A and B are shown apart, each in its own frame.
Chain A
Amino acid sequence: MQTLRRTPLHDRHVALGARMVPFAGWEMPVQYEGVIPEHKAVRNDAGVFDVSHMGELEIEGPTARDLLQATLSNDVDKLEPGDAQYTLVTNDGGGIVDDVILYRLDGHRYLVVANASNAGAVFDWLKERELRGSDVRDVSDDYALLAVQGPRALERLGLDRAKPFTWAMGDLDGVEVMVNRTGYTGEEGVELACMADEAGQLWDAILARGVVPCGLGARDTLRLEVCYPLHGNDIGPDWDAISSGLAWACALDTDFTGAERLRAVKAEGPAQKLVPFAMTEKAIPRQGMAVAGGGEVTSGTMSPMLEVGIGMAYVPAAAAKPGTELVIDVRGKDRRGVVEKKPLYKKEQ
C-alpha cells in the first residue's frame, strides 16, 4: 500500500475530530462536523478549506510566456503581473490534462496551481516542453494553501474587496500571504498561499476569526451547486474542452496544443455536451449512472441548498438544452430530472 502524504495541517485536522480519507494520494479531511453544516457555513458565513494538497509549479524565464501560450488554452497575454486566469492544459485531441489557475507573478515569472491528482502529470507535461530560457519547477512542498470562502469571508479576515482573478501580497495576523481572489465554491472569498512552515499559524488565526473548518465533502457539494467541473469526474483527457463546456477558457485564436482540433469541434458542433441537471423525482444521481438515450452522469449529489438531487452529465447535443427532461438509471429504477442552466444554485438577491 502506498503511503499517503499529509499536509502541514494534518495534526490540527485530527485534533478537530475530522474524518480523514485518502484523496489523490493524500490523507485529507472529508468532514469535521458534517458536510451539510459545513456547506451551509460557506453559503451563509465563511468556511476554510485546507487545499495544501494542490500542486504549485513555477515557470520562470524570458520564454516562460511562450511555453505557457503554447501549452495552455487561455490567452496568457491577457495577464498583467497581479492577474490570474482559469486555463486548461490540453492534449492533441483538445482533451484536458488538467484545469489550473495561472498567476502572473512578475514580468517573466508565473505560478500554476494544479489539481493534486494531476500535479505530477502537469509538471512532466510542461517540463517535457520546456524551451530554452524557461524553467519549470515544482514548488508544491514549499507552500500551504487555504481557501477561505463565503459571504462573510473578507469581513472575517479584515480584507477589502478586490477584483476576482487578481492577487496581491498581504499579511494576516503576522503571516505573510499571497492573497488570491479565486475559489471553488461560487462565493466571495480568497485562497491564501503561505510558506508551509507557517501554515499552522495561519490556520489558527483564521479559525480564531470565527471561520468554520470545512472538509473536501462540502468542497465537492459547493462546487457542484455552481457547476464548476471536477477534473477526473466531469472533465478529463478523453473529453475535449468544447464538449466539456469550457470554450470560454479556450482562446482559439492563439496556437496551443489541441487548438486545431478544438476549432474543428467548435465549427462542427460537439456530439455530446456536459450539462447540469436537477432531479424532479426523489433520487440522488451518482457518478457513472446511465442517462436514457445515451449519456452518463459524471457527478451527482443531494444539493444541501436546493434539497434535490443534482448533477452533471454528458448527453447528446440534441438533448442538452435547458428544460429538456432526462431519465437516469438509479440502480435499476428510472428517475426523472431536467437539464438546467448554470449555475444550479444562485443566491437570492
Chain B
Amino acid sequence: MAASESYPDELLYHSEHDWARIDGDEATLGVTWFAQDSLGELVHYEPPDAGSTVSKDASYGEVESVKAVSDLISPLSGEVLEVNQKVVDAPETVNEDPYGDGWLIRIRMSSPGERDQLLSAAEYRKVLEDA
C-alpha cells in the first residue's frame, strides 16, 4: 500500500525531493513522498557502497520504477555508514513508508554546517506548490 502525502516537520529537505533526519553528527537520508509518487512503485535501488563518500547536491545512487530511473541527490556531504538493505531487497518499501522503513542511507556528516542550507517542511511544500 502506498503511503499518503506528508512532509514531517522534524525533517530537513532538499529541493530535489530528498530529506535528511539529523541525529548528532549522523544523518539518515531518503526521498520524499512527492518523489516516490512521481516515480511510481519502485523496483530497483542502486545504493552507494558503505564507506564511500557522498557530496551535497551530487548523485549517490539511483532508484528505478518500471518506467523511469531517478538519481538520488544527497542533501548533505559525508561518509556512508550504512545502506538500507531492506530497500535493496524490497524497493517498494520506499513507497510504503518513505520517511521510516524506506530510508536509503545513513551518513556521518563531514560538513554539518550544510544543514543551514536545507529547507524546512514548510519551505519544501512551497517548492512543490511553485513547481
- Answer yes or no: A132 CB below 8 A from chain B CBs: no
Residues of B within 8 A of A34 (CB): 40-41
Within 8 A of A (CB), among B46-90: 46, 62, 64-67, 69
**Contact in complex: A283, B69 (CB < 8 Å):** no
- Answer yes or no: A302 CB below 8 A from chain B CBs: yes
Of chain A, the residue at the smallest CB distance from B88 is A282
How many of chain B's residues have a CB under 8 angstroms from any CB in A?
A: 11
Of chain B, the residue at the smallest CB distance from A301 is B66
**Contact in complex: B41, A283 (CB < 8 Å):** no
**Contact in complex: A283, B44 (CB < 8 Å):** yes
**Contact in complex: B67, A284 (CB < 8 Å):** no
Residues of A within 8 A of B64 (CB): 284, 302
How many of chain A's residues have a CB under 8 angstroms from any CB in B?
A: 17
Q: In the complex, what's the smallest C-beta–C-beta distance from A328 to chain B, in angstroms?
A: 14
**Contact in complex: A35, B40 (CB < 8 Å):** yes
- Answer yes or no: B43 CB below 8 A from chain A CBs: yes
Beyond A34-B41, A35-B41, A284-B44, whether A302 also contacts B66 by CB under 8 A is yes
Of chain A, the residue at the smallest CB distance from B44 is A284
Q: In the complex, what's the smallest C-beta–C-beta distance from A159 to chain B, in angstroms?
A: 30
**Contact in complex: A302, B44 (CB < 8 Å):** yes
The contact string, 1 if C-beta is below 8 Å from chain B, for chain A 181-225, is 000000000000000000000000000000000000100110000
- Answer yes or no: A347 CB below 8 A from chain B CBs: no
Within 8 A of B (CB), among A1-57: 30-31, 34-36
Of chain A, the residue at the smallest CB distance from B66 is A35
User: Which of A221, A282, A283, A331 makes the CB contact (< 8 A) with B66?
Assistant: A221
Docked pose: A283 CA to B47 CA in angstroms: 12
User: Which of A30, A302, A304, A331 makes the CB contact (< 8 A) with B62?
Assistant: A331
Of chain B, the residue at the smallest CB distance from A333 is B46
Beyond A284-B64, A331-B62, whether A31 also contacts B69 by CB under 8 A is no
Q: Other than the known A36-B41, A283-B44, A302-B64, what 4 A-B pairs have Cβ atoms closer than 8 Å? A: A35-B66, A35-B67, A221-B66, A331-B62
Which residues of chain A have a CB within 8 Å of any CB of chain B? 30-31, 34-36, 217, 220-221, 282-284, 286, 301-302, 304, 309, 331
Q: List 12 A-B contacts (CB under 8 A).
A: A31-B40, A217-B40, A217-B67, A221-B66, A284-B43, A284-B64, A284-B69, A286-B69, A301-B66, A301-B67, A302-B64, A304-B66
9 closest cross-chain pairs (CB), A and B: A302-B43, A35-B66, A36-B41, A284-B44, A284-B64, A302-B66, A217-B67, A301-B66, A34-B41
